[in-house]
Structure formats: structure tokens, C-alpha cells
Amino acid sequence: MDPLSSTFAALADPTRRAILARLALGETSVMELAKPFDMSLPAISKHLKVLEHAGLISRGREAQWRPCRIAPDSFKQVDGWLGNFRRFWDESFNRLDGLLEEMKAEEAAKAPPRKRKTSVTKEKQRGRTRG
């Protein structure tokens, strides 16, 4: 499997996305990552292996502590791939904005001129103006 496919496959699982969201706050241990999930430690370890294989996380070893952290390279690849679509949508929305502005201008040109309403308060009608 190519790296991009591996990354998207890893991101397809909601548990793995939740793990990544937690790791976005900073590195932490496997035990801390497992706390919010109703699953066994081996199940969490399997998710971590998938994330590690996809290059989304890295795991270290500091004495008895095995911290997990985000590995940004795979995210950069995904962002680069998605960038093409981001440009497509930005250009499409810009064209749509331009079309809507043209349509508003045409409508404004066709519409008869509006009469201005003068705002007269009840006090002025009665001859009681303030200051």
C-alpha cells in the first residue's frame, strides 16, 4: 500500500482520529491514551501500530515511559494532496461570488428607484421636538 493510502486508511477509524486529537495536545503515554476508551490495552496498542505504520505517530522510550507523539510528515503529504482540492473549491466559490455580484447588479439596474421614507416621530408630528 502506498503511503497516502496507508495514511487515509489509518484516519478512517474514529478511535484513531480521537487518539490523534489527543496527541495534538502533546505527547503522552499509551496508558493515558487508553483511558477514555472502553477497550483493552492490546486493542489500543493495535490502533497505535496502525498509526505508527502510517507514519502519523512515533513512539519513544524513556526508561519505563513510552511516549507517543504526532509525526507531522504524513500529515504534510495529506495536506499537499488535499491542497489541490482546496484550490479547486476556492476558485469555484470565487467564481460563484462573482456571478452573484453580477446578478445583484443586474437586479438593481432593473428595479425601479425606491422612494425614500422620511422618518417622522410622533413628537415632531405633534410639534414637540427635542433640543
What is residue 97's predicted lDDT score, i.e. its pLDDT? 94
Sole residue written with cell 495536506:
79
Sole residue written with cell 498509526:
51
**Contact (CB, 8 A) for 48 and 68:** yes
What is residue 101's predicted lDDT score, i.e. its pLDDT? 94
Burial of 48 (0-12, 13-18, 19+ CB in 10 A): buried
Mapped to the 3 state alphabet, what secondary structure does 51-95 carry?
HHHCCCEEECCECCECEEEECHHHHHHHHHHHHHHHHHHHHHHHH
Could you tell me how many residues make up the chain? 131
pLDDT (tens place) for every residue of the chain, 131 residues total? 788 899 999 999 999 999 999 999 999 998 899 999 999 999 999 999 999 999 999 988 877 777 899 998 888 888 888 988 888 899 999 999 999 999 999 988 888 877 766 666 666 666 665 55
pTM for this predicted structure: 0.66
What is residue 49's predicted lDDT score, i.e. its pLDDT? 95
